[in-house]
Amino acid sequence: MTELVLEDVRVRYGSGSSAHDAVKGVSLTVASGRTVGLVGESGSGKSTIARAIVGLHEPHAGRILVDGTDVVRAHGRTAVLRRDVQMIFQDASSSLDPRMNVGASIAEALEVRRPDLKDVKARRAEVARLLEVVELDPARVGDLPSQLSGGQRQRVAIARALAAAPRVLLADEITSALDVSVQGTVLNLLRKVQQELDLTVLFISHNLAVVRQLCEEVAVMKNGLLVESGPTTRVIDAPEHPYTRELVRAVPRLGVPLAETPLSRSGDPR
């Protein structure tokens, strides 16, 4: 198992007078084998943090530690360490190559992390195994993304991430583009995979109801800052920061008309 630690991480877009600090000194620990939720409205910086962790954005300050080693400055080992951290993106339609079938997409990830699988038969067997792990029929191996439903595409994206044999998984709004009827199935799959593989998971979402179902701890972001964090039950049941209280009040509840929620008065806080 692997611990992920962020120490005073700052990410800036642009330079000079046009510079914008998207993340303003965030410190966060995701303990080995735990699932931590990162929540906040659009533009709060939560997805920027995930992209910084996997190397898609370079922090201009702070440290990102994987088992105590700074992946930003660990020259020579950075690529190896960052392969231990894989990201599942919000929209599988965008993250999967539309020209590659399911098997080729997963096999491409295997080539990066599993050079021992040089034999074609071994790679095919591993692709089939990964599809079974994500509860997708291996017979769909020749299908293109356009031939799959949204939930099936997200399962392929999860299988592709698992092909790299990660120790840390970043899940960025992975159910927000799915029908409500499919969201629960994907969340249950993620929980099953996390438990079976002892993964450390940072789960990014705007939905506190989903975070409560999946995460032991939650951290709340607003305007690039971490405003509150702690055990999920405590943060949701007894929020201390005004912004967290707004997010909690925005969660739809049975028997409460939509007109009486903050969503209808002040806009969607996502």
Residue type, 80: V
- Please give the pLDDT value at position 82: 61
The answer to whether 170 and 202 have CB atoms below 8 angstroms apart is: yes
Is residue 202 helix, strand or coil?
strand
Beta bridge partners of 219: 38, 229
Please provide residue 146's backbone torsions phi and psi, each rounded to the nearest 5 degrees: -65, -15
- Please give the pLDDT value at position 253: 65
Q: 191: exposed, middle or buried (C-beta count within 10 Å: 0-12, 13-18, 19+)?
A: middle
Question: What order do you get walking across the sheet with 85-88 strand by strand?
Answer: 85-88, 168-172, 200-205, 35-39, 217-222, 225-231
- Give Rg (Cα) of the chain: 19
- Please give the pLDDT value at position 267: 42
The CA distances from residue 50 to 31, 63, 86, 130, 260, in Å, are 16, 13, 10, 24, 34
- Please give the pLDDT value at position 95: 85
Residue type, 247: L
- Please give the pLDDT value at position 81: 54
Q: Do β-strands 225-231 and 61-66 pair in parallel, antiparallel, or remain unpaired?
A: unpaired
The verdict on pTM exceeding 0.85 is yes
Q: Which domains does the chain have, with CATH numbers?
A: 1-84+166-241 (3.40.50.300), 98-164 (no CATH)
- Please give the pLDDT value at position 193: 94
Series of mean pLDDT values for 10-residue runs along the chain (270 residues): 92 88 96 96 93 90 91 59 82 88 91 74 92 95 94 94 93 87 90 94 91 94 96 95 92 54 39
